[in-house]
Structure 1
Amino acid sequence: MRLKLAGALRRALRRRTLARQLRHLPHHAPRYRPIGRRVSNSRMRFARLSVAAATGFVLAGCSTSLPLQVQAPAPTTALSDAVEPQVVLRAMTIVADWQLANPSGHKPYEWQEAPFWAGLYELALQSSSRQKYLDAIRRNGESIQWQPGPGPFLADDHAITQSYFLLYRLEHDARMIEPALARFGQMLQAPFAESLEFSDDKTMREWVWCDALFMSPPALALATSTTGDGRYAELMDRLWWKTTDYLYDKDERLFYRDSRFFDQHERNGKKVFWSRGNGWVLAGLARVLEYLPPEYAGRPRFVALFQKMAERIAGLQGPDGYWRASLLDPDSRPIPETSGTAFFTYALAWGMNEGLLGREYEPMVRRGWSALVRAVRPGGKLGYVQRVGDQPGETGPEQTEVYGTGAFLLAGSELFRLAGRVGR
């Protein structure tokens, strides 16, 4: 009993210390009201506009041609692709439970793990096994004392903190976010003044590759919405647009993975745009918008980019529901690829749920989810996940990675929400 009281006292003191720190923000720091997990679009200052209505673009008929030499995978499990809450939840549960029983082997703080814990958090909120999944997230954080990865400014090493902030919102244990806030405090003092021409060394200091836009920005947005301290969001905003101005191709409305690909071309002569790389960006945009305060002044610019990219991405989906690894040359790597497909499906469904995308996106979302369910192997392993890389690559039915599982869970969480909004 004495030990329990002592533990409770320590937790109370930590909460009080964090609260005191937040009350004494610098006078110049923009302040926001800490918000809950999800910002309902009804509380946002944006009309529910469909991209098609705004631009006159008709999504139907704009998909790339499905490579004829490769057929889409046939279902290998009894899972249904029906967009019904309990059916979607069953698919999410089977895939999540397989991953929990088959750990990836990556270090607990590494970026590969981050989408899984974020996706598992979403599953926990929807599942009758809520505590089981929250306990798993907590064990992962506790195993490394809630630390980010070791690189102070490396975006990859910030990604895991997204799950820390989310769990903190439920449990209010200051230990979960204190190391992340200390890390982000260091970032506030850094100049971030280098060019973004790619080098491995520079990834430790700048967001020089497009994947970084999923890793660090949502964590910084969460830091602001959790604490009310606007400096984190302002830093995120500045660095996001620095990277976007450098890597975003305005004509194609897609992101180069990094500067090494500016002058490269696929066999068909088209530019090289990697599916998962652009999936990181579009999913990162969705998560930034989810966690930015609704009154944040820079929000409309993020919304505009999200809508432009979503429109372009939707038109590149194959008729079988998959996006191939090379977005503009699907024939070069015709095998289906699920990590990019899952991130795109997640982001498009999120956009529909938040009123930022119209009902014309529903067929793409449904086809994407069906494609993902068909790629689940017996037992719950998600197949056709391209391995760790930096450009379009090959994959296969037994190839998996934990970030693919995480993207599947994120997509499923938005299909679960969508199932309550659209007809079946």
Structure 2
Amino acid sequence: MRTNYLTVLSFCFTLLIASSSIVFGANDSFLWLANADMSVYKKEGILSTMRIANDYFMEKWPNPGEDTVTDKRRPSNIWTRGTYYEGLMALYQIEPKEKLRKKYYDYAVEWGKSHDWGMWGGTKTRNADNQCCGQTYIELYQIEPKPERIAKIKKSIDRMVSSEKIDDWNWIDAIQMAMPVFAKLGVVCGDDKYFERMYEMYSYTRNKHGDNGLYNPEHGLWWRDKDFDPPYTTPNGKNCYWSRGNGWVYAALARVLDVLPEDAPHRNEYIKDFKDMSKAIKEAQRGDGFWNVSLHDPQHFGGRELSGTAFFVYGMAWGINNSVLDPSDYMSSAGKGWTGMIENALHENGFLGYVQSTGKQPSDGQPVGFDKKPNFEDYALGAFLLAGSEIYPDFGGCIAENSSKSAF
């Protein structure tokens, strides 16, 4: 249940006060926004920035089935593109213009058709990265229930449910790639077996992988995989909590809770982890609204990074909108994060800067920068669109209060 908009408005003053602590650097993105109409920070402006970023990508990739080519050729149904389509479907859900809704829907359907609604690795794959595309396949099935849209992803997940193996998710990114697929199938099929297996796999990653699980309840954050749990530390002796890795888990919990029935088993455990993560994430935020790639060590490749930031903004805004998080505690943080991204990372043509390329740790894909193109442009855009989709409904009137444009 979403928080009432009037309740949200009551915290605008909190955002206004918080904005005084934001330190924004000058760059081309900020300069073009400085000359833009103030409406860019209001509800319609939030939607407009999402459209700008998405248009850049769709114009660059007019054929959704085209392979991606970086260091090698890959099909476009891999996890990076699957994450983009999660964001596109979120944009589709809030888009009021029927022409644009059809454009987004058709683009997603064409993508699914081009891959025959299948996964890289086929129905025998247990790799969560390969199953990420299933999140969008299922959402498209829910809009137009054509059996072929979910037949293959269901077969893949059914194989996992019927086996004894529950340790597949040995890196935390996998939680976002596949956990929502289980949750969505549980809803579509009306069968708790998907919820139960999802919980078993999540719990194994949380409590058993590595030496004692990949989640540290003391800090409310996750090590990316067994290579980064203690005794491993950053060069400065800190726990290595990778921003995007924690963003994957945070987004996964939001996406699972968004569809999981209120009386579903283990829901309260997910909520507790989500709340504990929220507290830890909020405490790690930079003054400019972004998060560093290393959450507990700002000196370890410190600086703005968009993909982790976008996932954190998405999760916080979702939590506020769905009465899981207290607006008085988290609205300022979510607002600062969104404003930081549009003022410091969004180019006029829709390109998103400060995106860390694919990897598994803070040092990968460095340095990031305003003009630097990552090896894949799709997953960070997906995260940005997810964030915007939750900022848009109830935050619109407040984001302007959090803007630094008053400096101009």
Q: Residues 263-314 of structure 1, C-alpha deviation per residue, up to 9 Å, x if partnerless?
A: 2212321111100000001001100111212220210110011000001101
SS in 1 for 2:120: coil
Matches within 5 A, 1:15-94: 40=1, 71=25, 75=30, 77-78=32-33, 83-94=41-52
The CA distance in 1 between the partners of 2:180 and 2:228, in whole Å, is 25
Q: Percent identity?
A: 33
- Seen in structure 2, the aligned counterparts of structure 1 residues 251 and 102 have a Cα distance that, compared at 3 Å, is same
SS in 2 for 1:383: coil
Match of 1:409 in 2: 385
The CA distance in 2 between the partners of 1:193 and 1:407, in whole Å, is 27
2:234 to 266, 270, 273: 266
Mapped pair 1:177 → 2:177: no
Mapped pair 1:399 → 2:399: no
SS in 1 for 2:265: coil
* TM-score in terms of structure 1 length: 0.79
Task: Report how far residue 224 of structure 1 moved.
Answer: 0.7
The CA distance in 1 between the partners of 2:290 and 2:39, in whole Å, is 14
- Seen in structure 2, the aligned counterparts of structure 1 residues 213 and 422 have a Cα distance that, compared at 3 Å, is same
Q: Residues 110-140 of structure 1, C-alpha deviation per residue, up to 9 Å, x if partnerless?
A: 0001121011111112221100000000010
Mapped pair 1:189 → 2:195: no
Which one has the largest radius of gyration?
A: 1
SS in 1 for 2:350: coil
- Seen in structure 2, the aligned counterparts of structure 1 residues 175 and 330 have a Cα distance that, compared at 3 Å, is same
AA in 2 matched with 1:377? H
1:231 to 190, 193, 196: 193
SS in 2 for 1:233: helix
Residues 161 and 180 in structure 1, CA contact (< 8 A), matched pair in contact too: yes
2:340 to 371, 374, 384: 371
The CA distance in 1 between the partners of 2:84 and 2:200, in whole Å, is 27
Task: Report how far residue 81 of structure 1 moved.
Answer: 8.4
Task: Report how far residue 420 of structure 1 moved.
Answer: 5.9
The CA distance in 2 between the partners of 1:235 and 1:193, in whole Å, is 8
Bigger Cα displacement from structure 2, 361-370 vs 330-339: 330-339
* TM-score in terms of structure 2 length: 0.82
Q: Residues 128-174 of structure 1, C-alpha deviation per residue, up to 9 Å, x if partnerless?
A: 11000000000100000111221611111111110111111111111
AA in 1 matched with 2:91? L
Match of 2:282 in 1: 314
Match of 1:55 in 2: none
Residues 326 and 332 in structure 1, CA contact (< 8 A), matched pair in contact too: yes
- Seen in structure 2, the aligned counterparts of structure 1 residues 77 and 137 have a Cα distance that, compared at 3 Å, is farther
AA in 2 matched with 1:256? W
Task: Report how far residue 41 of structure 1 moved.
Answer: 5.6
Q: Residues 228-256 of structure 1, C-alpha deviation per residue, up to 9 Å, x if partnerless?
A: 11111111011011101110012111100
Mapped pair 1:356 → 2:327: no
Match of 1:14 in 2: none
AA in 1 matched with 2:268? P
Residues 251 and 312 in structure 2, CA contact (< 8 A), matched pair in contact too: yes
AA in 1 matched with 2:290? Y
Task: Report how far residue 83 of structure 1 moved.
Answer: 4.8
The CA distance in 1 between the partners of 2:89 and 2:278, in whole Å, is 25
Residues 116 and 406 in structure 1, CA contact (< 8 A), matched pair in contact too: yes
Match of 1:125 in 2: 93
AA in 1 matched with 2:30? P
Match of 2:304 in 1: 336
SS in 2 for 1:259: coil
The CA distance in 1 between the partners of 2:192 and 2:397, in whole Å, is 33
Q: CA RMSD in A?
A: 2.7
Q: Which structure 2 segments of 5+ residues have no match?
A: 8-16, 62-67, 208-212, 402-408
Residues 166 and 204 in structure 2, CA contact (< 8 A), matched pair in contact too: no
The CA distance in 2 between the partners of 1:131 and 1:332, in whole Å, is 44
Residues 152 and 186 in structure 1, CA contact (< 8 A), matched pair in contact too: no
Residues 166 and 201 in structure 2, CA contact (< 8 A), matched pair in contact too: no
Q: Which structure 1 segments of 5+ residues have no match?
A: 1-39, 43-47, 49-60, 195-205
Match of 1:418 in 2: 394
The CA distance in 2 between the partners of 1:309 and 1:329, in whole Å, is 17
The CA distance in 2 between the partners of 1:72 and 1:370, in whole Å, is 14
AA in 1 matched with 2:196? E
- Seen in structure 2, the aligned counterparts of structure 1 residues 253 and 345 have a Cα distance that, compared at 3 Å, is same
How many pairs are equivalent?
356
The CA distance in 1 between the partners of 2:200 and 2:397, in whole Å, is 35
Residues 83 and 415 in structure 1, CA contact (< 8 A), matched pair in contact too: no
The CA distance in 2 between the partners of 1:285 and 1:355, in whole Å, is 14
Bigger Cα displacement from structure 2, 71-80 vs 375-384: 71-80
The CA distance in 1 between the partners of 2:350 and 2:257, in whole Å, is 31
Match of 2:54 in 1: 96
1:347 to 315, 326, 341: 315
Task: Report how far residue 418 of structure 1 moved.
Answer: 2.3
Match of 1:212 in 2: 174
Residues 77 and 376 in structure 1, CA contact (< 8 A), matched pair in contact too: no
Residues 292 and 305 in structure 2, CA contact (< 8 A), matched pair in contact too: yes
AA in 1 matched with 2:227? R
1:252 to 205, 214, 219: 219
Task: Report how far residue 82 of structure 1 moved.
Answer: 5.3
Bigger Cα displacement from structure 2, 167-176 vs 96-105: 96-105
